[in-house]
């Protein structure tokens, strides 16, 4: 690594990395089982754009129909317009109202919908016995996509 800094002009950082060895396709380990959707409609509410886009892209690629929104109020509008969903995935820490409050509103429209909370605060929320209601589960960030897909498949099977 080389760092050159000139006061008043800026800093230049040069990082030299060794050339990686060739990786053959058969060397790459794939997860034992990837859960694919069958057109199930998923409402994804996440204010972190990178998490939202990643989860949405993976779900759509694997056969789910993901509808993504960044704010809980947008999700409420979709429900008020009569849209139906098979699963709600929501962050707990959202602007305006939290994910648990959103879950209650969603349950007023779709009483049996499974709800999966994704959050960085899962440890604290899970301790509160009253946080998770019937057919609700939680997964902590950061999570492995395989773990998320497994939990989604499990929840949709039960519903």
pLDDT in tens, the chain (159 residues): 677 777 887 777 776 667 666 555 455 454 557 778 899 999 999 999 999 999 999 999 999 999 999 999 999 999 999 999 999 999 998 989 999 999 999 999 999 999 999 988 655 555 555 678 889 999 988 888 889 999 999 999 876
- pTM for the model stands at 0.76
Domain 39-158 classification at class level: alpha beta
**Angle value at C-alpha 57, between 70 and 113, nearest 5 degrees:** 60
Q: Is 39 left (phi over 0), alpha (psi -120 to 50) or beta?
A: left
């Amino acid at each position: 690594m080389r760092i050159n800094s000139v006061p008043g002009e800026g800093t230049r950082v040069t990082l030299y990395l060794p050339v990686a060895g060739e990786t053959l396709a058969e060397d790459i380990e794939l997860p034992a089982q990837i859960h694919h959707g069958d057109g199930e409609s998923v409402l994804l509410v996440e204010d972190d754009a990178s998490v939202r886009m990643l989860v949405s892209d993976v779900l759509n690629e694997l056969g789910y129909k993901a509808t993504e929104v960044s704010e809980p109020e947008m999700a409420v509008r979709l429900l008020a317009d009569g849209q139906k969903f098979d699963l709600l995935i929501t962050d707990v820490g959202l602007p305006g109202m939290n994910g648990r409050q959103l879950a209650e509103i969603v349950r007023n429209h779709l009483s049996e919908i499974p709800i999966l909370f994704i959050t960085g605060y899962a440890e604290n929320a899970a301790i509160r016995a009253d946080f998770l209601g019937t057919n609700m589960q939680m997964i902590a960030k950061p999570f492995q996509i395989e773990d998320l897909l497994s939990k989604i498949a499990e929840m949709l099977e039960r519903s």
